[in-house]
Amino acid sequence: MPNVTFNIDYLLKLVGSKLEKQKLNEILYKLGIEVEHEEENSLTLEITPNRPDLFSVVGLARYLRNFLHQNKNFHYNIIKDTKETQLNLIINPNIKNKLFIYGFVAKDIKLDDNSLADIFNFSEKLSDTLGRMRKKLSIGIHDYDTIDKTIEFKLSNDKKFIHLKGNEPELFSDVLKNTEKGKMYSTALPKTNMFPVLEDTKGVLALIPIINSKRTAVTKKTTNLFVEVTGTSEDLVKKINEMLAINFHELGAKIYQINISGNNKNYTSLSFPENYVTIPVSQIGAEIGIKLDSSIIISLANKMGYEAAVLNQKIRFSIPAYRIDILNEQDVIEDIAIGYGYEYIVATPVPSITKGKLLDNTILFNRISDAFIGVGFTELISTYLTNEDKNFTKMRLDIPNKKDYILLKDSKSSSITMARTHILPSLLHVLSLSKHEKLPQKIFELDLIFSIDKNKPVEDYHIACVSTNNKQNFNDMKSIIYSVLLTLRISFSIAECKHNSFIEGRCASILINGKELGVFGEVHPVVLRNFGIEEPTTAFELSLSFI
Amino acid sequence: MHKYELAIIKSLQDGKSKTPEQLMEEVNLGKDELLWAIENLSNISLIELQREKELAISFFPEGEVYANSLLPEDSLLEKLKSQKKLELKTLISEKDRIALQWCIKKKLAQIKDGYLIITPSGEKNKVPSNESILLNSLSKLKVVPKHISAEERSSIDEFKSRKLLEIKEKNNILSIKISKKGLEFKDFSDSEHIDELTKEIITSKNIESLKFKKYDISVGVPSEIVSMRHPLRSLINDIKITFSQMGFNEISGPIIEPSFWVFDSLFVPQDHPARDTQDTFHLSNPEFLDIEEQEYLKQIKKTNTKAWKIKWNDNDAKSAVLRTQMTSVSVRYIREFIKQFAKDKNQLLPKKLFTVGRVFRNENLDYKHLTDFYQTDGIIIGKNLTLSNLFDTLITFYKAFNVNIRFKPAYFPFVEPGAEIFAQLGEKGEWLEIGGSGIIRREITGIKRKDISVLAWGLGIERMLLLKDKNMKSITEYYNSDLGWLRSRELI
């Protein structure tokens, strides 16, 4: 979840009210925003990824302002006439609808340290999270007054420009290799020798999605801005462009849309389409489980930033352009519930009574475990994940073909490469950790093991136990197995068998319904040595697949 | 007096000092029985013991490896000595990282411009170092020698803190000798007082008048081993019973799933970082799994592509993973239910279901992080269900465990409204996040609310353990337990 750090003074200045720190924290909790870290002047908040509008101080302040004052101003004054800026953005056909661009001009803005930092942090956060490290989306902000008014968006050959942090002209390919941003985001570019750029007659404005030019750099003194959003999804690019325009509008700028043409299309950049969700009045309270009439709902909607109106027993919510997370009425109802306050929703039982039931396996497996506990075994729970050395080699077993067991990809831990194919190694491992414990040591585990049958994964329950003591032989384990299995009314027979983990002639296979499902006997001393066990040990493992 | 004790006193009557081994042979006793009897006799001052303290060393697997070869920093130093510098990028294995850390700590090497460079003191140090030699000899001795230098002492302390070995104090008995009081002890056959009760005595006549020898009830006794369930299993059983008492049916489902059931059907976008191998275990065998539900696949593909503005990739949906939450089990059941519901609208409602099982994260294993742990998930499928019904169900469940909870708005892609559940540690303790819940999105069910809605939640079981087991240091001890830890558990 994205963590965003906010300057408290700047936030409260934008909210426009003096909030005690504790009160602020309380409101944030009500809104579902968790405080990750607190300092004298700043708050680091966990913002959920569905609310990218709250990655900025401006957006968070708007949210809090609405919540506290029920702000009824939901309209933005956008200058629609594109002649006003005379800025033309032309998309070269070589972009081929693989990348999309939107933008706008913000004039007469007064920037200071706080607002400038917020603008940059906001665009970085958006392009890192929502933009998937700029693969899907990136944002550029330029000094409008340094730009020649016709800008082309195109794929260019490798050529030189002075980037934001540079002093000398450098090739795009060198910028990718040598700059911090280049190294971080070069994977967002397709692997070709063509580079997406914005260019006017004076040269390159930006190497997209990596870095802007030094020429168009924005400082505190800049008053007019050109903002562009590029990315692989037109819908997302368009919406983020609108979200940014609203933010700059709230910072006091005049917002101008611009004309964009190319790829047989000609469009303006800020359409703000009306977007409504309409829900029956009765449904809203019914879904939350409280009684709400339409006047309360409208007031709650305003509090949560929606303009809302009653239409024939229904409420029409108009979705703010900066809310990209609203998919259907459930999202709006959640906001109404948050506005109402989760803490005031009275818990009411599900109205009808049902009869509960455990799985047969749960009951049966508990019986089997009880039987083992009854003969002195302690239960163990261990990880399902292991490696070939522990699962096979230490057990004196050959490592099978890789097709025959569940193999993990890119495990972070070198000791984990596969899912276990039997339980005994887990038990022997615990004995190896328990050398100083009192004898006898008797442990068992009843849980899953994994295999592959005809390319399909198989998850099977096994029961396994080990017993270690200074004197211990085949017959000790045989007597345990016979007593326990007979108590559980499992009919079985045993047969001589060869198993590399056991001493030859001192182990037996267990047959149930003619199928070889288990084995028990004296663990081979080489296996014991491999696990660092110094006392004689007997072991048993049985598949419960017959149940 | 017990017959073992009598036998020992008798054998010591010659006044000679004997080792436990000699005594074991003479009186034909096992070691445990002998030590028990000796302890008793010494308590009543019939014998004198000469003891010796010994510091026994036991090696952890990591320490054992180093003892048989070299400490990792020595191996790295050896490499550095021949190559002078090493590129940091090449030092990625777990062992290399440990070695790197110690080389720097011991000032044998330093990092500069992405390289590890040997320092002058590293040049001077010989390989194998004194520490490696010491570790190796300790592994043979198995005890800390009586006379060691201060330097060796601090090396051993360092081995301990590195968890290469542990040291336990053992109080060995060197020899046993009869005491003055013991020499005067003549009561070998007290014919008047009965010592051990036997079948012959019980079945003989006149048992009313029998006299019994008095036992010293303060005598120390060996402890019995109590075999028991794993504490985590006990909690899981309590959870299962609680849900079934609340009218829930238990369900289960596969651990190995195509990503479709773990992510796509739960509305997690295909380009979401949580799906990366960084966080989720993908399999290299089998690499892909088929999705049987073609129709549902189409529905989910459509809604996800639209909502997340992504290009759908069939292989991303098929990629086999170890499930990362139990909701994959719930959503499979929801799908089954919806298919039946489409055929027959008169299903008995509500359906209340729960599941408990293991989920997986690709983590670096350490004392705080695990790759597998337990979660419990539940759903209620029914008509006119509300957020307040969801809250009530969870409050009722946690009440069974004496846990107070509250709800905070939260975001999970597959529910809306969504709520996080917080539990209070103790009466006035801090609030701890223990799970997530909400009403399943209709994009997932594909059914209108007037027909059906689905309440859902997923709860961490380890967090519940923390609420119960106040001494819990880290959840890893529940999975990587040795027998000593298991045997010291209290039944809860």
Dump pLDDT digits (tens) for A5-28. 999 999 999 998 888 888 999 999
Tens of pLDDT, residue by residue over A14-63, are: 998 888 888 999 999 999 999 999 998 999 999 998 999 999 999 999 99
* A471/B contact by beta carbon, under 8 A: no
Quote the tokens at residue B82.
Answer: 């021949």
Residues found in chain A: 547
Question: With an 8 Å Cβ cutoff, are B408 and A32 in contact?
Answer: yes
Q: Is residue A351 part of a domain?
A: no
In contact, B40 and B220? CB cutoff 8 Å: yes
Return d(Cα A512, Cα B320) in angstroms, integer.
Answer: 33
Q: Which of A152-156, B270-274, B427-431, B470-474 has the lowest mean pLDDT?
A: B470-474
CATH fold for domain B3-54+171-212: Arc Repressor Mutant, subunit A (1.10.10)
Are A24 and A136 in the same domain? Answer: no
Question: With an 8 Å Cβ cutoff, are B392 and A350 in contact?
Answer: yes
Q: Using 50 as the pLDDT threshold, list the residues of chain A that sit under it.
A: none
* B419/A contact by beta carbon, under 8 A: yes
Tens of pLDDT, residue by residue over B35-58, are: 888 888 888 888 988 888 888 888
Tally of domains within chain A? 4
When CB atoms are compared, the residue of B243, B284, B479 closest to A356 is B243
- Say if residue B39 is exposed, middle or buried (CB neighbours under 10 Å; 0-12, 13-18, 19+): middle
Among A293, A316, A344, residue at a domain's last position? A344
pLDDT band at B189 (very low <50, low <70, confident <90, very high): low
pLDDT value of residue B427? 75
Class of domain B61-161: mainly alpha
**Best CA proximity match to A406, nearest among A449, A368, A343:** A449
* B444/A contact by beta carbon, under 8 A: no
Distance from CA of B13 to the nearest CA of A (A): 31
Q: Is residue A182 part of a domain?
A: no
Question: With an 8 Å Cβ cutoff, are A330 and B442 in contact?
Answer: yes
Are A106 and A245 in the same domain? Answer: yes
Distance from CA of B366 to the nearest CA of A (A): 9
Instruction: Sort out which chain A residues have CB atoms less than 8 A from B441's CB and list them.
Output: 327-328, 330
Distance from CA of A213 to the nearest CA of B (A): 28
When CB atoms are compared, the residue of B223, B230, B289 closest to A380 is B230
Nearest-Å Rg of the Cα atoms of chain A is 34
Instruction: Sort out which chain B residues have CB atoms less than 8 A from A283's CB and list them.
Output: 449
Question: With an 8 Å Cβ cutoff, are B362 and A455 in contact?
Answer: no
Are A452 and A488 in the same domain? Answer: yes
HEC profile of chain B: CCHHHHHHHHHHCCCCCECHHHHHHHHCCCHHHHHHHHHHHHHCCCEEEEEEEEEEEEECHHHHHHHHCCCHHHHHHHHHHHHCEEEHHHCCCHHHHHHHHHHHHCCCEEEECCEEEECHHHHHCCCCCHHHHHHHHHHHHCECCCCCCHHHHHHHHHHHHCCCEEEEEEEEEEEEEECHHHHHCCCCCCCCEECCCCHHHHHCCCHHHCEECCCCCCCCCCCCCCCCCCHHHHHHHHHHHHHHHCCCEECCCCCEEEHHHHCHHHCCCCCCHHHCCCCCCEEEECCECCCCCHHHHHHHHHHHHHHHCCCCCHHHHHEEEECCCCHHHHHHHHHHHHHHHHHCCCCCCCEEEEEEEEEECCCCCCCCCCCEEEEEEEEEEECCCCHHHHHHHHHHHHHCCCCCEEEEECCECCEEEEEEEEEECCCCCCEEEEEEEEEECHHHHCCCCCCCEEEEEEEEHHHHHHHHCCCCCCCHHHHCCCHHHHHCCCCC
Which CATH number is A253's domain given? 3.50.40.10
Q: Which of B132-136, B145-149, B158-162, B402-406 has the lowest mean pLDDT?
A: B145-149
Parallel, antiparallel or unpaired: strands A441-453 and A378-379: parallel
CA B110 to chain centre: 36
pLDDT at B472 over 80: no
* A388/B contact by beta carbon, under 8 A: no
Q: Is residue A183 part of a domain?
A: no
Among A284, A310, A344, residue at a domain's last position? A344
Q: Please give the angle made by the CA atoms of A367, B372 and A394, to the nearest 5 degrees.
A: 85
Are A283 and A217 in the same domain? Answer: no
Parallel, antiparallel or unpaired: strands A276-280 and A502-512: unpaired
pLDDT value of residue A334? 96
Q: Is residue A310 part of a domain?
A: yes
Indicate the angle between helix axes B387-399 and A281-288, nearest 10 degrees. Answer: 10
User: Which one of A25, A36, A334 makes the best mutation probe of the B interface by having the most chain B beta carbons within 10 Å?
Assistant: A334
User: What 3-state DSSP class applies to A532?
Assistant: coil
Fold match between domain B3-54+171-212 and domain B61-161: yes
What's the pTM?
0.80
Among A210, A235, A268, residue at a domain's last position? A268
Which residue on chain B is closest to A335 by alpha carbon? Answer: B417
User: Which one of A97, A364, A378 makes the best mutation probe of the B interface by having the most chain B beta carbons within 10 Å?
Assistant: A378
Are A384 and A263 in the same domain? Answer: no
User: Which one of B55, B58, B139, B233 makes the best mutation probe of the A interface by having the most chain A beta carbons within 10 Å?
Assistant: B233
pLDDT at B15 over 60: yes
Are A95 and A129 in the same domain? Answer: yes
A273 prior amide bond cis, ω within 30: no
Structural domain for A246, as ranges: 78-156+193-268
Instruction: Sort out which chain A residues have CB atoms less than 8 A from B484's CB and list them.
Output: 434, 436-437
Instruction: Sort out which chain B residues have CB atoms less than 8 A from A457's CB and list them.
Output: 254, 256, 286, 289, 320
Which CATH number is A33's domain given? 3.30.56.10
Question: With an 8 Å Cβ cutoff, are B441 and A382 in contact?
Answer: no
Are A448 and A424 in the same domain? Answer: yes
Question: With an 8 Å Cβ cutoff, are B232 and A433 in contact?
Answer: no
Are A85 and A147 in the same domain? Answer: yes
- B109-113 own/partner pairs: CB under 8 Å, 24+ apart: B109/B76, B109/B77, B109/B80
CB proximity under 8 Å: B 207-226 to A? 223, 225
Return d(Cα A517, Cα A511) in angstroms, integer.
Answer: 6
Question: With an 8 Å Cβ cutoff, are B252 and A448 in contact?
Answer: no
Tens of pLDDT, residue by residue over A310-322, are: 999 999 999 999 9
State the ipTM, two decimals: 0.92
**Best CA proximity match to B273, nearest among A131, A4, A44:** A131
Are A401 and A456 in the same domain? Answer: yes
**What mean pLDDT value characterizes chain A?**
93
Amino acid at A216: T
Handedness of CA B412, B416, B421, B422 (dihedral sign): positive
CB proximity under 8 Å: A 261-290 to B? 283, 286-290
Neighbours of A485 (CB within 10 A): 20
Are A142 and A241 in the same domain? Answer: yes
pLDDT at B376 over 90: yes
Are A424 and A478 in the same domain? Answer: yes
* A379/B contact by beta carbon, under 8 A: yes
Distance from CA of A491 to the nearest CA of B (A): 25
User: What 3-state DSSP class applies to A394?
Assistant: helix
Q: Is residue A15 part of a domain?
A: yes
- Going from N- to C-terminal start, the domains of chain B cover 3-54+171-212, 61-161, 232-255+323-487
Question: With an 8 Å Cβ cutoff, are B411 and A48 in contact?
Answer: yes
Are A383 and A494 in the same domain? Answer: yes
* B453/A contact by beta carbon, under 8 A: yes
When CB atoms are compared, the residue of A354, A433, A452 closest to B247 is A354
Tens of pLDDT, residue by residue over A369-405, are: 999 999 999 999 999 999 999 999 999 999 999 889 9
Tens of pLDDT, residue by residue over A175-188, are: 999 999 999 998 88
CB proximity under 8 Å: A 348-367 to B? 348-350, 352-359, 361-362, 366
Q: Is residue A173 part of a domain?
A: no
* B271/A contact by beta carbon, under 8 A: yes
* B491/A contact by beta carbon, under 8 A: no
The CATH architecture to which B232-255+323-487 belongs is 2-Layer Sandwich (3.30)
pLDDT band at B491 (very low <50, low <70, confident <90, very high): low
Q: Is residue A322 part of a domain?
A: yes
Which CATH number is A521's domain given? 3.30.930.10
- Say if residue B48 is exposed, middle or buried (CB neighbours under 10 Å; 0-12, 13-18, 19+): middle
